[in-house]
C-alpha cells in the first residue's frame, strides 16, 4: 500500500512540475501589461505577448469569449500599454485584414517559439480547442491617431 501511495505522490509531483514548467515557459518571453478600464471605472491588468509590426505593437487572443479583457476593449478601446518601464496611452483597433493577421501570427510564432510549448501544453490540459475564426488580432495605435 505504501508503494502505491509513493508512486501516486511521485506522479502528482511530476505533473505539478510539468504545469509549473509550462507556466514558466509562458512567462519566459517578453510580456507586456495591458490595462483596460471597465464601464464602472475599475481597471484590469492583463499580461500578454506582444509583437511589433508596421510601426505598432500588436496583441491577440485565441478565445476572446473566455477572456475578460477583450470585451472590455470592445467597450472602451483606450488602454494603458505597459512595456518595461514605459507606459503609453494606446487605442485598440481590431484587425481582420488577412495579410496582417498572417504576418502577426508568423511573428508571434517566431518570437515566442519556446514559450508557445508551455501555452500549448496548458491549453491541451484544459481541453481548449481552437477554431481559427474565433481568434482576434489587435493593433495598439497611439491615442493621438484618428
Q: Among 54, 63, 84, which residue's Cα sits nearest to residue 135?
A: 63
11-46 pLDDT per residue, tens: 777 666 666 654 555 555 678 999 998 888 899 999
Helix (H, G, I), strand (E, B), or coil: what is residue 49?
A: strand
Q: Give yes or no for a contact between 104 and 137, defined as CB atoms under 8 angstroms apart.
A: yes
Q: What is the CATH number of the domain that holds 122?
A: 2.30.110.10
Pick from 90, 107, 87, 96: nearest CA to 132:
96
Instruction: Tell me which residue of 20, 85, 16, 93 sits closest to 55, measured CA to CA.
Output: 93
Q: How many CA atoms lie within 13 A of 135 on its CB side?
A: 17
Domain that holds residue 7: 2-142
Q: Provide the domain count of the chain.
A: 1
Render pLDDT for 85-139 as a digit per residue (tens, 0 to 9): 999 999 999 988 878 888 888 888 888 877 666 666 666 666 655 555 567 899 9
Amino acid at each position: 500500500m505504501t508503494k502505491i501511495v509513493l508512486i501516486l505522490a511521485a506522479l502528482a509531483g511530476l505533473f505539478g512540475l510539468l504545469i509549473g514548467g509550462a507556466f514558466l515557459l509562458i512567462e519566459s518571453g517578453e510580456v507586456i501589461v495591458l490595462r483596460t478600464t471597465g464601464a464602472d471605472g475599475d481597471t484590469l491588468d492583463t499580461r500578454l505577448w506582444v509583437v511589433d509590426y508596421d510601426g505598432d505593437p500588436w496583441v491577440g487572443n485565441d478565445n476572446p469569449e473566455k477572456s475578460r479583457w477583450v470585451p472590455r476593449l470592445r467597450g472602451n478601446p483606450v488602454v494603458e500599454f505597459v512595456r518595461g518601464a514605459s507606459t503609453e496611452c494606446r487605442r485598440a483597433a481590431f484587425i481582420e485584414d488577412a495579410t496582417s493577421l498572417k504576418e502577426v501570427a508568423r511573428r508571434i510564432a517566431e518570437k515566442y517559439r519556446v514559450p508557445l510549448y508551455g501555452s500549448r501544453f496548458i491549453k491541451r490540459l484544459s481541453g481548449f480547442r481552437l477554431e481559427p475564426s474565433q481568434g482576434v488580432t489587435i493593433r495598439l495605435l497611439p491615442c493621438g491617431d484618428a
